[in-house]
Structure 1
Amino acid sequence: MAFPDSSHVISLNDVTAAATEFARGFNHNYYQPLHLAILKGDWKTARAFFDHDPSALTAKVTPIARTALHVAAIGGQWQLVEKLVQQMPTGELAAIDLMGCTALHYVALGGNAAAAKALVTKNPSLTQVTDFVGFTPLLYAITSSRCKELVWYLALTTTDERPSCPFSGPSSRHLVALLTATGFHDITLFLLQRYPNLATIADSNGSIIFNVLSKMPSSFQSGSNLGFFGSLIYRFVPVELDHLQPSKPGGDLEDPYGKSSKHKKFTHAVPRIKLVRETKLRHESAVRLVEYVCSQALTLNDSQFWQSFISADILYSSISCGMVEMLRICFQFFPDLVWTKIPNEGYVLQVAIKSRQEKIFSLLCKMPIGKILVLVVDDSQNTTSHLAARLTTSPQLASISGAAFQMQKELQWFKEVEKLDHPLHKEVKTQEGKTPWQLFRDEHKSLLEQGEKWMKDTSNSCMLVATLIATVVFAAAFTVPGGNNQDKGIPIFLPDNAFIVFAVSDALALFSSITSLLMFLSILTACYAEEDFLQALPKKLIVGLASLFFAIATTMIAFGAGLSLVLRERLKWVSIPITLLASFPIALFAVLQFPLFLQMIRSTYGPGICHPQKLW
């Protein structure tokens, strides 16, 4: 029977009709053993079948007209795929099934670069064959996004030739959207530089690339949480972005640029460094991608196109996700975007305030336009101070541990915006008759109660520990190791250095535990007004936790020194394991509490909300 031409899009009814017609004359029982052998990876049985019937090598062995090569590719039997490629005629490698797919389509979907290279090396035209929807193997590889090396290889070997025209035809929209969504921004940038028309593809929502990127905050550094050590590695690990043209298509798939180095081998040997390096490469490529797309849009010299190219929806998504890198570049190329008013949301600065995006707020405040937009009053008589006074539902607030510090962050936002707003706006009332501060108090009643409960629960728990430590170290001061001289009451081990360590650490533990106890007691007796959460309560909690940690550390030191004094005459080596064991609870407390403690210090003593950034 004649199969539909894979270069044209056909309907589902045509495919169903062709499948029904083919199935009528198909001998299922004859080819079933071969089908099962290939799916199991049993090359010995499959080869015996081919020796008995050489025509089976190229025959349609399934009811939907798939060859043995198709079956091996679908089953993920990559070794069999390579063996079948060696034995099949070159032209038969382009055979299509009733979905219009070649074996390369399924290899691309499975994400195996070696099998794809074997197919394309023998028949280079395979990269240009489309299925009945018009998708090339490159698009299948991008959809799978399992193997970046395979996507690179097919991007290098696929051309824009007729009839498929994957980079200028109808499927180019899907290609750009899916490739951007995979996060392989260096590949996207390479294809855009080869085919500049891809950069300015747009639909009713604006730029396809920007529309996808605006929903992917992890593509930029501002949207990635690497942790302390990851951020440290990120700062120093280098990435190569000077290349625009990778090496030849047949080169090393693990090193598509042909620039293998000791540094690259080292980063691959350490998984954590490799992950951070790949993340940084994605971030740097995304920035370069945004710059290139903006530069291409600028060459069109059409202001109406620019306004639709970077739509209000794209700006809103970018601001809500905190993608300051993308917005900075867009504002540099198209400065008038800062005047964009997003329907039902307000101007870009107002959206940044409602979304609690510090970096974007700081970026806009650096510009003169920001100082004007702060003064804007909307149709409901809401000033920007009113917007900051409303309790946000932004994930930015949910990411902060503890209701007390969420309340602190909300206060910081309100105070910062109020400071920039016009003084007269402090008394401007909404339609409900509320000033900004009145609105803040009403909106944050529930959070205030939660913050008070969190503070009291934390203080009660820590007070229990501090009281226990104070009791123990106070008793230890009068029951010293080894006892006292009966005549003078002087400790027997007084001349020993270890006893001095015990005595000093015991005294420090008592003083610090009492200090901690007093700090937590003052938190319990506080009045819990809204503004107390800004500085007073967090500072007391910081001092209390720091004192408690110091009390725990000195208590363990005192215990270790005292135990060593008692046992070292019999066990001279006992000081080493005692020191190691005593260090464990100290380290455990530090690891468990340090992130919260660091967050407290940052939010209380940090640079604040607005720290202006350079735009130009």
Structure 2
Amino acid sequence: MNSNNITKYNTSLYNAAINGDWEKAKEIFDADPRTKFAALDQRGMTCLHVSIKVSRSIGFVQQFVETMVSGDELANLRTGCGSTPLHIAAEVGNTVAADIMCRKMPRLPYIQDYNEDFPVHTAAKNEHAAILRLLIGITTEEEPYQNKGGLRLISDTIHAQFFGIAFSLVEKHPYLATLHDPTIGSALSTIAGKESVISRNPASRFISCSFFDGSIHIAHHAVICATKIGNHEIVEMIIEAFPNAIYSSYMESSPRSIFHLAVLNRCEEVFKLLYHMNGHKFVYSDVVDNSGNNLLHMAAKLAPSHKLNQISGAALKMQREIQWYLLVEKLVARSSKIQINNKGKTPKMVFTEEHKNLEEEGAKWMKETSQNCTVVASLIATFMFSCAFMVPGGNDGNTGLPIFYRQRMFFVYALFLFLSLLASTYALINFLSILISLFFNIKKPG
């Protein structure tokens, strides 16, 4: 059979696989058995891969698996990246197809793709809980759960927020909680690094599992991850379980503590938590890093952009930075306020230098905002003033008094008119004072 016929069959077979047309596919298989194993697209997917991915007809998958291939042939169906049909089922969450194939070939869950991923890894990575539970249940041998692969599995499961599945994995394979890799971290550090709200229960269960084998370094790494994003609940739980974690340093070549990290990243809740823990508040207040920066130098640095962007308006950002500096300043020793770093700069000098651009932007923002508000306040004050002379119903021609001045509603009208005029005039004076005053009158560190 020439190549043109094979191409024609491949196109027809691809359409049959997509549409779940088993009768059409069977005709093609009978005409040329090679098409069962032919690649139908650029990814190298066979008709079984395609049918599983589309998931329109489970009957197509069942017929193919039960009548067209042996168990070994099923295991040898690979895409260009080495994915078996079970990898594709795990990728798209096709639980029924996975169950059919694993009954046909029980060794299928133990075949890796060219990225060294087992199907259970693929299911976790693509966040499909049902098929992940299925594959964990039938993947009973240790190989998929060992070393870096096992760590990736537990980390991906936690990232998907399948905490029940993650803890069941740790119960079956306790060493997963003690695995650590410089690029992936650990199960506990994955939980600690999540910004979304996590209940204390799953976190505390992982914390208890992480220390059974003396894996103290996991606690240090996890508390650093939690401090970086301001996850004060995880920080508190880790330190309660392992008090020495409060001495964690996030740079091996520098004595920066999690106090410094909390200050630098503006993690207010973590900083307050650490400060109010008895016996620890002054441990690192006078410690400097390799650049000679103490805790107040850290507070003087410009906040990370993701923190600043939470506040609108340059002036309000500047105000928040000043408030943070003054808060930390109250909690350090007096000598720290005038201490110089390796560049010969005090914390106040660092603050001025780091916030120079923000200060200028704040001044510009304040003036522009005040100008716009001054125009609005002027219009309101003008309107209220004119209303004072154009009362409802007009004035009595003989006495000159308002016609309705004896009525109670007229008194209410006059009262609110007076209050509106007073408020608009007060606002106008305030905005004008901002325009003619210096922005730098705001209390700055010093």
Interval of TM-score (by shorter of Structure 1 and Structure 2): 0.7 to 0.9
Tell me what 1:130 maps to. 111
Question: 1:398 aligned to 309, 313, 329, which one?
Answer: 309
For 1:203, give the aligned amino acid.
D
Tell me what 1:485 maps to. 396
Contact 2:65–2:101 (Cα < 8 Å) also in 1: no
For 2:228, give the aligned amino acid.
S
Q: How does 1:195-274 map to 2 (within 5 A)?
A: 195-204=173-182, 207-213=185-191, 216-219=193-196, 221=197
1-side partners of 2:119 and 2:292: how far apart?
56
Tell me what 1:319 maps to. 227
Q: Deviations over 1:346-378 (max 9, x none)?
A: 122122212221111111111222222112244
Does residue 507 (structure 1) correspond to residue 423 (structure 2)? The answer is no
Does residue 106 (structure 1) correspond to residue 94 (structure 2)? The answer is no
Does residue 293 (structure 1) correspond to residue 206 (structure 2)? The answer is yes
Tell me what 1:143 maps to. 125
In structure 2, the CA distance between the partners of 1:25 and 1:293, relative to structure 1 (3 Å rule), is: farther
Q: Larger RCO: Structure 1 or Structure 2 (Cα < 8 Å, ≥ 6 residues apart)?
A: 1
Tell me what 1:349 maps to. 259
Contact 1:466–1:514 (Cα < 8 Å) also in 2: yes
1:88 to partner: Cα distance: 4.6
Contact 1:405–1:533 (Cα < 8 Å) also in 2: no
Q: Which ranges of structure 1 fall in alignment gaps of 5 or more residues?
A: 1-22, 222-282, 535-616
Tell me what 2:329 maps to. 418
Question: 2:23 aligned to 47, 63, 82, which one?
Answer: 47
Q: Deviations over 1:6-46 (max 9, x none)?
A: xxxxxxxxxxxxxxxxx999972463254232254162xx4
Contact 1:69–1:81 (Cα < 8 Å) also in 2: no
Does residue 72 (structure 1) correspond to residue 54 (structure 2)? The answer is no
1:512 to partner: Cα distance: 1.2
Report SS of the residue matched to 1:391. coil
For 1:330, give the aligned amino acid.
I
For 2:172, give the aligned amino acid.
R
Tell me what 2:430 maps to. 519
Q: Deviations over 1:183-212 (max 9, x none)?
A: 333322232223222111223468432454
1-side partners of 2:362 and 2:430: how far apart?
17
In structure 2, the CA distance between the partners of 1:127 and 1:490, relative to structure 1 (3 Å rule), is: farther
Tell me what 2:348 maps to. 437
Contact 2:178–2:213 (Cα < 8 Å) also in 1: no
1:61 to partner: Cα distance: 4.8
2-side partners of 1:375 and 1:392: how far apart?
21
In structure 2, the CA distance between the partners of 1:136 and 1:432, relative to structure 1 (3 Å rule), is: closer
For 1:408, give the aligned amino acid.
Q
For 2:383, give the aligned amino acid.
V
Tell me what 1:375 maps to. 286
2-side partners of 1:379 and 1:42: how far apart?
66
For 2:213, give the aligned amino acid.
L
1:468 to partner: Cα distance: 0.5
1-side partners of 2:155 and 2:350: how far apart?
43
1:379 to partner: Cα distance: 5.4
For 1:199, give the aligned amino acid.
A
1:345 to partner: Cα distance: 6.6
Tell me what 1:330 maps to. 238
Contact 1:93–1:102 (Cα < 8 Å) also in 2: no
Q: Deviations over 1:586-615 (max 9, x none)?
A: xxxxxxxxxxxxxxxxxxxxxxxxxxxxxx
Q: How does 1:116-127 map to 2 (within 5 A)?
A: 116=98, 123=104, 125=106
In structure 2, the CA distance between the partners of 1:366 and 1:525, relative to structure 1 (3 Å rule), is: same
Contact 1:192–1:198 (Cα < 8 Å) also in 2: yes
Q: How does 1:136-175 map to 2 (within 5 A)?
A: 136-145=118-127, 147-155=128-136, 157-161=137-141, 165-168=143-146, 171-175=149-153
Contact 2:188–2:210 (Cα < 8 Å) also in 1: no
In structure 2, the CA distance between the partners of 1:467 and 1:104, relative to structure 1 (3 Å rule), is: same
Report SS of the residue matched to 1:400. coil
For 1:159, give the aligned amino acid.
T
Report SS of the residue matched to 1:346. strand
Question: 1:81 aligned to 39, 43, 58, which one?
Answer: 58
Question: 2:216 aligned to 306, 311, 321, which one?
Answer: 306
For 2:326, give the aligned amino acid.
K
2-side partners of 1:209 and 1:71: how far apart?
34
1:532 to partner: Cα distance: 3.1
2-side partners of 1:84 and 1:380: how far apart?
64
In structure 2, the CA distance between the partners of 1:476 and 1:39, relative to structure 1 (3 Å rule), is: farther
2-side partners of 1:491 and 1:479: how far apart?
9
For 1:36, give the aligned amino acid.
Y
In structure 2, the CA distance between the partners of 1:123 and 1:422, relative to structure 1 (3 Å rule), is: same
In structure 2, the CA distance between the partners of 1:138 and 1:415, relative to structure 1 (3 Å rule), is: same
For 2:106, give the aligned amino acid.
S
For 1:319, give the aligned amino acid.
T
Q: In angstroms, what is the RMSD of aligned CA positions?
A: 3.6
1-side partners of 2:420 and 2:306: how far apart?
40
Tell me what 2:13 maps to. 35
1:465 to partner: Cα distance: 0.7
Does residue 187 (structure 1) correspond to residue 171 (structure 2)? The answer is no
Number of residue equivalences: 433
1:469 to partner: Cα distance: 0.5
1-side partners of 2:271 and 2:441: how far apart?
24
TM-score w.r.t. the length of structure 1 is: 0.61
1:427 to partner: Cα distance: 3.4
2-side partners of 1:192 and 1:370: how far apart?
35
Tell me what 1:456 maps to. 367
1:513 to partner: Cα distance: 0.8
1:467 to partner: Cα distance: 0.8
Does residue 62 (structure 1) correspond to residue 38 (structure 2)? The answer is yes
